């Protein structure tokens, strides 16, 4: 089965590689020609634009930064909609605004093209080892038909409702992740400032109720001063903007999420936008005049 894959960034490249390992034939597209050549060297084909790619693959996966990028690739000049035939399916695995997913799906449906919005969680490490979590919106029968394909990249694939529901689930995920990272940051800074080893505190509490996947992923990065991006602050800020817009549109106040959003904005202004979101700890370090380390 030929699969089109558009967007070979931090997440997309390892996801595409996992599809190749699973035996799928890939046609890839990205603005970074070096990474395209890397995938071609592993057995993929390439296309000059989304329209050409969609003409060769009945299923196309997109993994792009934000709503405007997906709209451009799908609906713009040379876009997927120009080359895809009736019965084709777009699986958009980008994290975008739910309303944008619905708009794109409507435009595709007019040409007989199906769509799933299927954003992911887990960051680069889980994308590499094929254990991301995927939350999916769209028609149930389309989901069922593509479940095995999604599982080739993931440890968990869950159907959550109609189109747009996948991105609602992702926004909920990002609220919990952001607040959790902030809580871990506060705890690590408190331990260090109080003269107790943050590493020993981490070891003491990770097995109790405070323990979490977020803590296990991010506390070691903070202590090792490793802020290489598994998920960049810039991208989490993008998600937080989508979170606040969506929440306000349905009348839900999010006081904790809005606070962490401002923390992210502050450290972004300090030049940390391209760093991993574990660099939230730097906000607390700056206030406490201390640096977390083992």
Q: Domains in the chain and their CATH numbers?
A: 2-162 (3.40.50.720), 168-288 (1.10.1040.10)
Bridge partners, 89 (sequence order): 59, 114
CB-based contact 5:45 (threshold 8 Å): no
d(CA 151, CA 7): 19
CB-based contact 294:223 (threshold 8 Å): yes
The single residue of 13, 17, 126, 170 carrying the catalytic annotation is 170
Indicate left, alpha or beta for 7 from its phi (over 0: left) and psi (-120 to 50: alpha): left
For the whole model, what pTM was predicted? Answer: 0.91
pLDDT at position 19:
98
pLDDT at position 1:
78
Joined tokens for residue 222: 């903070």
Burial of 200 (0-12, 13-18, 19+ CB in 10 A): exposed
pLDDT at position 37:
98
Concerning whether 170 is annotated as a catalytic residue, the answer is: yes
Joined tokens for residue 157: 């694939």
| 230 secondary structure, DSSP code | S
CB-based contact 88:105 (threshold 8 Å): no
In order of 60, 89, 164, 266, 278, the CA distances from 92 in angstroms are: 8, 10, 11, 31, 26
Phi then psi for residue 166, to 5 deg, are -60, -45
d(CA 9, CA 214): 22
The residues near 60 (Cβ < 8 Å, ≥ 6 apart) are: 3, 4, 5, 6, 50, 53, 54, 80, 84, 88, 89, 90, 91
pLDDT tens track of the chain, all 294 residues? 799 999 999 999 999 999 999 999 999 999 999 999 999 999 999 999 999 999 999 999 999 999 999 999 999 999 999 999 999 999 999 999 999 999 999 999 999 999 999 999 998 999 999 999 999 999 999 999 999 999 999 999 999 999 999 999 999 999 999 999 999 999 999 999 999 999 999 999 999 999 999 999 999 999 999 999 989 999 999 999 999 999 999 999 999 999 999 999 999 999 999 999 999 999 999 999 999 998
pLDDT at position 230:
86
pLDDT at position 94:
97
């Amino acid at each position: 089965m030929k699969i089109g894959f558009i967007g070979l960034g931090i997440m997309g490249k390892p996801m595409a590689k996992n599809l190749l390992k699973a035996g799928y034939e890939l046609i890839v597209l990205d603005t970074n020609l070096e990474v395209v050549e890397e995938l071609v060297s592993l057995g993929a084909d390439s296309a000059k634009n989304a329209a050409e790619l969609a003409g060769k693959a009945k299923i196309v996966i997109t993994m792009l930064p934000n709503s405007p990028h997906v709209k451009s690739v799908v609906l713009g000049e040379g876009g997927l909609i120009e080359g895809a035939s009736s019965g084709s399916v777009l699986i958009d695995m980008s994290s975008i605004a739910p309303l944008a997913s619905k708009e794109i799906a409507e435009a595709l449906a007019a040409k007989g093209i199906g769509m799933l919005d299927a954003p992911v969680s887990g960051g680069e490490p889980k994308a590499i080892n094929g254990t991301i979590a995927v939350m999916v919106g769209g028609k149930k029968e389309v989901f069922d038909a593509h479940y095995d394909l999604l599982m080739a990249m993931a440890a968990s694939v869950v159907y959550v409702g109609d189109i747009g529901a996948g991105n609602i689930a992702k926004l909920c995920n990002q609220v919990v992740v952001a607040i959790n990272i902030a809580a871990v940051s506060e705890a690590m800074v408190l331990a260090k400032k109080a003269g107790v080893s943050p590493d020993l505190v981490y070891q003491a509490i990770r097995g109790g109720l405070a323990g979490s996947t977020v803590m296990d992923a991010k506390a070691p990065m903070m202590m090792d001063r490793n802020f290489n991006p598994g998920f960049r602050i810039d991208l989490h800020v993008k998600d937080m903007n989508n979170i606040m817009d969506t929440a306000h549109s349905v009348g839900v106040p999010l006081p904790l999420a809005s606070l962490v959003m401002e923390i992210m904005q502050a450290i972004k202004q300090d030049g940390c936008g391209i760093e991993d979101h574990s660099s939230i700890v730097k906000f607390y370090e700056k206030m406490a005049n201390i640096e977390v380390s083992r």
